[in-house]
Amino acid sequence: MSLIRGQESAKRGLEIAAAGGHNIALYGPPGTGKTMLAKAFQGILPPLSDEEVIEVTSIHSIARTLGNDVIVAPPFRAPHHTASYASIVGGGAFPRPGEITLSHRGVLFLDEFPEFNSSVIDALREPLEEKRITIARARGSVTFPAHCILVIAMNPCPCGYGDDRCTCSAARRGQYLRKISGPFIDRIDVWVAVSKIDYDEFGVESGRGETSETMAMRVEKARSLQYHRCREHDVKEKCNSELGVAELEKVIPLSPALSSFFSATAERLGLSGRGYHRTLKIGRTIADLDGKEEVGKTHILEALQYRQKII
Ligand SMILES: [Zn+2]
C-alpha cells in the first residue's frame, strides 16, 4: 500500500472492506491504479487461522493449483473476463472447484467487471450470499465452500471517461450500465471512486503512505472486536458484513437519537431496506476501526458515502 501514492479514499474503503468482510467496487477511468489497489488488498487481510489454513490448503490440493505447499495467507484470485464459466464457477465431469472456491477465505478480484459474461455474473450471486456453491451434475451434486471477499474494478463507461468527454453511444452505455445493476451488484457494500492522481501531491519531500502492515494491524484489531461482540450476544463469530437482519438488532443496537437521525436520513436519500442494513453494518465496521463501542453519527455519515452513485 505504501508504494501506491495518493488514493487515500480508496485505501480507506479497502481498509473498511477488509475489516468488516465487505465486498467492494473500485470505479474510475483506466490508468488510475485500480488493479494495483486490488492486489494490495490481500496484504491488509488478517492471516488465516489454523483451521482456515487446513481448509484452504485442502481446496487447493484438490484443484492441484500447488505442489505440496501449505497456504497460510488469504488467497487472491483474479480470473480474466474471458475465462470459461466452468473455470470460474466450477464444474467438469468430476467437478473441480472454480475460482469462486479457490478464493475461499481470501479475495476474488474481477477486473473490468462489466466485461464478464452475464451467465457467470448470475451464477456467482448465490454463492456470494450462501458462502458456498453447489454444482449440479447428472449423477448428483457437489458443494464447495465459497467464502470470499469480492473486489470488482470497472470504468465508469465503456470508453473509460464517464464524463462530458464520453464518446459512448446511448445504447452501448445502457447495455454497460445494465450489467452493473440488479441483484448481483446489490451484494457490493462499499463503492469507491479511484480518480486520476494529482501529481502535485507528490513532491520529492512527500513521504511514503502507510504500509500494508500498519493497515493490517488495524484490520485485525477491528476483526477481533467483531468476534468478541458476536460471542457476547450468543451469535456465531462472524464479520459485520455477514450479520443477518435478525442479528443486527441484537448485535448493533443504536441509541434512540441516532436511530431517528439515521431513519430520517435514510428516508431522505431513498435508501432501500437492504441499503439501510448495509449502511448500518459498514457504520459498525468504521466504529470498530475507530475502537468505539458504540456506533456514532460520524460513522453512519461516513458509511453513507460508500453507497453506489454511478447509476
Ligand atoms: Zn463513455
Binned at pLDDT 50, 70 and 90, residue 204 comes out as very low
End-of-domain residue from the set 206, 233, 250:
206
Q: Distance from the CA of 79 to the center of ligand 1, in angstroms?
A: 25
264: helix, coil or strand? helix
Q: Which amino acid is at 160?
A: G
Check whether residue 62 and residue 188 sit in a common domain. yes
181 backbone dihedrals φ, ψ, rounded to 5° = -130, 180
Check whether residue 41 and residue 185 sit in a common domain. yes
- What average pLDDT does the segment 14-33 reach? 94
Check whether residue 232 and residue 181 sit in a common domain. no
Torsion of CA 162, 163, 166, 168, to 10 degrees: 50
141: helix, coil or strand? strand
Q: Distance from the CA of 162 to the center of ligand 1, in angstroms?
A: 5
Q: Distance from the CA of 177 to the center of ligand 1, in angstroms?
A: 11
pLDDT digits (tens, 9 = 90+) for 232-275: 999 999 999 999 999 999 999 999 999 999 999 999 999 989 89
End-of-domain residue from the set 186, 206, 226:
206
Number of structural domains the chain divides into: 2
Looking at the domain assignment, is residue 61 inside a domain? yes
**Under a CB-based contact definition with an 8 Å cutoff, are residues 58 and 33 in contact?**
no
Check whether residue 218 and residue 194 sit in a common domain. no
pLDDT digits (tens, 9 = 90+) for 103-133: 999 999 999 999 998 889 989 999 999 999 9
Percent of the chain with pLDDT over 70: 95
Q: Distance from the CA of 167 to the center of ligand 1, in angstroms?
A: 5
Looking at the domain assignment, is residue 280 inside a domain? yes
255: helix, coil or strand? coil
Segments forming the whole domain that contains residue 150:
8-206
Q: Distance from the CA of 155 to the center of ligand 1, in angstroms?
A: 9
Q: Where are any strands of DSSP class E within 47-129?
A: 76-77, 90-91, 96-97, 107-110
pLDDT at 205 over 70: no
pTM above 0.85, yes or no: yes
The pLDDT value given to residue 6? 85
pLDDT at 202 over 80: no
End-of-domain residue from the set 206, 230, 254:
206
Check whether residue 264 and residue 141 sit in a common domain. no
